[in-house]
């Protein structure tokens, strides 16, 4: 194999694929990136056996062929090469090493045979649809923070993507929860998604995907079956296994009968929560919200360091209520809201509370209160 390509092209493609490669691997070939030169492009592929990313970079192929080299090493080398330079990748005659040559720099990397590189067989996809990158990004970003990291409940370690009939139209919905909070976002279901199975996209895939959909104008092609999903974004193809499990019936969790409505300025609320939680030295400290007509008082009590209170004007005309939330979770939700006002629907101090952005009623957050 002998190819020449622009350093910036190679770097961009490598930056997309190399993240998939785990830093520590028990199987040596999984540390490598597969390079295959053919026609006018160099295809790069990396996998962790659950997730595979391939990308084609424009290249001058002088001699076709394929090999695998350590992904992070190659990325680090290319990253340090001068901007605007050209890079030549050239394998030895016996295929045991690959030279990376650029200007006066000359590296030799050890290769592993491309035949050993595992392929994530995608099988047959049952559904295919196209959607805007912006919509996909919205579904991910609004819910990603609530994904659980608890291994025991592995079925919560991803985003649940499914279609649902709501307000007389079919919606594509994403839901994530860790048992303390739940996030739900939705968009018009794209044509072709009707009848798709409900799937759970693993956390790592979600993270990679989020980085790939940074250009909102690109259309994303989504293909899926009940075990795999593939996203094609421009020249990048991401294929991932899905979490084999049943996502809990989240509808049950979203309270519908909460009758106490609190409307508050989002920015000042968020800033106030951030301020009062300064005195809570450890994670999981509660912020108490004492809500009465026209105002909310935030309190944090930390027996080790002190206490903090802050009063905020708010629109509220139900019976006074005191309720506690984890400061971290409250901040996470506040960070998700983009409008000027946040709406809290409360029942009592022990029941889940619904939080929404008054300008975006399609997105919804549920927070479990804490004892205070």
Partner 1 sequence: MAVNATANGICRDCLAPAAGTGKRCHSCGSPRVLRHPELEALPLAHIDCDAFYAAVEKRDNPELRDKPVIIGGGKRGVVSTACYIARIHGVRSAMPMFKALEACPEAIVIKPDMEKYVRVGREVRAMMEALTPMVEPISIDEAFLDLAGTQKLHGAPPAHVLAAFARRIEEEIGITVSVGLSYCKFLAKVASDLNKPRGFSVIGRAEALDFLAAQPVTTIWGVGKAFAATLERDGVRMIGQLQKMEKNDLMRRYGTIGSRLYHLSRGEDDRTVKPRSEAKSVSSETTFNHDISAASDLVPVLRALSERVSTRLKKADIAGRTVVLKLKTADFRTRTRNRQLADPTRLADRIFHTGLDMLMRELDGTRFRLLGVGVSDLTDAAKADPPDLVDTLSHKRALAEGAIDSLREKFGREAVETGYTFGRGRAGQPQREE
Is 156 near partner 1 (CB under 8 A)? yes
73 and 21 in contact (C-beta within 8 Å)?
no
**Eight-state DSSP code of residue 82:** P
Specify the residue, 103 or 350, whose C-beta has the smaller distance to partner 1: 350
Rounded Cα–Cα distance for residues 351 and 209 (Å): 34
By CB under 8 A, residue 368 contacts partner 1:
yes
Residue 44 binds partner 1 (CB under 8 A): no
Asked whether position 182 contacts partner 1 by CB under 8 A, the answer is: yes
Kindly report the backbone phi and psi dihedral angles of residue 218, in degrees, each rounded to the nearest multiple of 5, phi listed first: -80, 145
Give the alpha-carbon dihedral of 15, 20, 24, 28, to 10 degrees.
-100
* C-beta closer to partner 1: residue 148 or 336: 148
Cα distance between residue 290 and residue 311, in whole Å: 9
Nearest to 190 by CA among 123, 247, 124, 139: 139
Task: Choose between 66 and 354: whose C-beta lies nearer to partner 1.
Answer: 354
Please report whether residue 180 would count as binding partner 1 according to CB under 8 A.
yes
Min separation Cβ 180 and partner 1, Å: 7
238 binds partner 1 (CB under 8 A): no
Q: Residues 309-348 vs partner 1: string with x where CB under 8 A? A: ----------------------------------------
Binds partner 1 (CB under 8 A): choice among 18, 181, 228, 288: 181
Q: What distance in Å separates the CA atoms of residue 131 and residue 121, rounded to the nearest whole number?
A: 24
| CB of residue 263 to partner 1, shortest distance in Å | 23
- Dist CA 240 CA 120 (whole Å): 8
Three-state DSSP state, 329: helix
**Residues of span 122-151 touching partner 1 by CB under 8 A:** 148-151
Q: Alpha-carbon distance 52 to 348, whole Å?
A: 46
**Count helices and strands in the chain by DSSP H and E runs:** 6, 25
- Of 23, 152, 167, 195, the residue at the interface with partner 1 (CB under 8 A) is 152
> Taking CA 73 as the corner, what is the angle to CA 71 and CA 76, rounded to the nearest 5 degrees?
110
Identify the residue among 23, 24, 80, 371 touching partner 1 (CB under 8 A). 371
Query: Shortest distance, CB of residue 78 to partner 1, whole angstroms?
Result: 36
| Residue of 177, 239, 240, 336 that binds partner 1 (CB under 8 A) | 177
Quick one: which segment of 93-101, 173-181, 304-312, 329-337 binds partner 1 (CB under 8 A)?
173-181
Residue 366 makes contact with partner 1 by CB under 8 A? yes
Q: Which of 178, 208, 223, 357 binds partner 1 (CB under 8 A)?
A: 178
Largest CA distance in the chain: 81
b/e burial code for range 124-140 (CB count within 10 A of at least 16 → b): eeebebebbbebbbbbb
265 Cβ partners below 8 Å, 6+ apart?
Answer: 312, 313, 314, 340, 341, 342
Q: Minimal distance in Å, beta carbon 335 to partner 1?
A: 20
Q: What is the DSSP letter of 98?
A: E
Residues in the interface with partner 1 (CB under 8 A) total 24
Q: Is 370 in the site for partner 1 (CB under 8 A)?
A: yes
Distance CA 216, CA 225 (A): 25
For residue 151, the minimal CB distance to partner 1 (Å) is 6
Q: Could you say which residues in the range 246-305 bind partner 1, by CB under 8 A?
A: 248, 250, 252-253, 284
What residues line the site for partner 1 (CB under 8 A)? 148-153, 156, 177-182, 248, 250, 252-253, 284, 350, 352, 366, 368, 370-371
């Amino acid at each position: 194999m002998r190819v020449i390509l622009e350093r910036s092209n190679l770097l961009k493609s490598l930056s997309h694929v190399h993240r998939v490669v785990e830093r520590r691997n028990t199987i040596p070939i999984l540390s490598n990136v597969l390079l295959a030169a053919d026609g006018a492009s160099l295809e790069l592929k990396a996998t962790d056996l659950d997730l595979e990313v391939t990308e084609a970079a424009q290249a001058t192929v002088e001699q076709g062929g394929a090999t695998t080299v350590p992904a992070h090493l190659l990325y680090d080398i290319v990253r340090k090469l001068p901007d605007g330079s050209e890079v030549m990748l050239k394998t030895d005659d016996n295929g045991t090493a690959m030279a990376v040559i650029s200007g006066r720099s000359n590296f030799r990397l050890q290769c592993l045979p491309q035949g050993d590189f595992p392929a994530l067989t995608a099988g047959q996809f049952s559904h295919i649809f196209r959607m805007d990158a912006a919509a996909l990004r919205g579904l991910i970003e609004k819910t990603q923070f609530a994904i659980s990291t608890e291994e025991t409940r592995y079925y919560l370690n991803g985003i649940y993507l499914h279609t649902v009939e709501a307000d007389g139209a079919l919606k594509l919905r994403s839901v994530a929860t860790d048992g303390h909070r739940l996030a739900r976002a939705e968009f018009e279901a794209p044509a072709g998604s009707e009848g798709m199975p409900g799937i759970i996209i693993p956390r790592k895939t979600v993270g990679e995907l989020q980085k790939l959909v940074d250009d909102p104008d690109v259309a994303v092609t989504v293909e899926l079956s009940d075990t795999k999903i593939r996203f094609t974004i421009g020249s990048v193809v991401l294929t991932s296994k899905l979490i084999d499990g049943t996502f809990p019936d989240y509808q049950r969790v979203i309270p519908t009968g909460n009758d106490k409505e609190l409307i508050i300025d989002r920015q000042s609320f968020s800033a106030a929560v951030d301020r009062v939680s300064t005195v809570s030295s450890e994670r999981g400290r509660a912020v108490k919200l004492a809500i009465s007509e026209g105002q909310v008082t935030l309190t944090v009590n930390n027996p080790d360091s002190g206490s903090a209170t802050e009063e905020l004007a708010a629109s509220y005309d139900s019976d006074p209520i005191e309720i506690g939330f984890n400061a971290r979770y409250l901040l996470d939700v506040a960070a998700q809201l983009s409008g000027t006002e946040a709406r809290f629907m409360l029942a009592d101090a022990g029941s889940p509370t619904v939080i929404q952005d008054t300008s975006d009623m399609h997105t919804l957050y549920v927070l479990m209160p804490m004892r205070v």
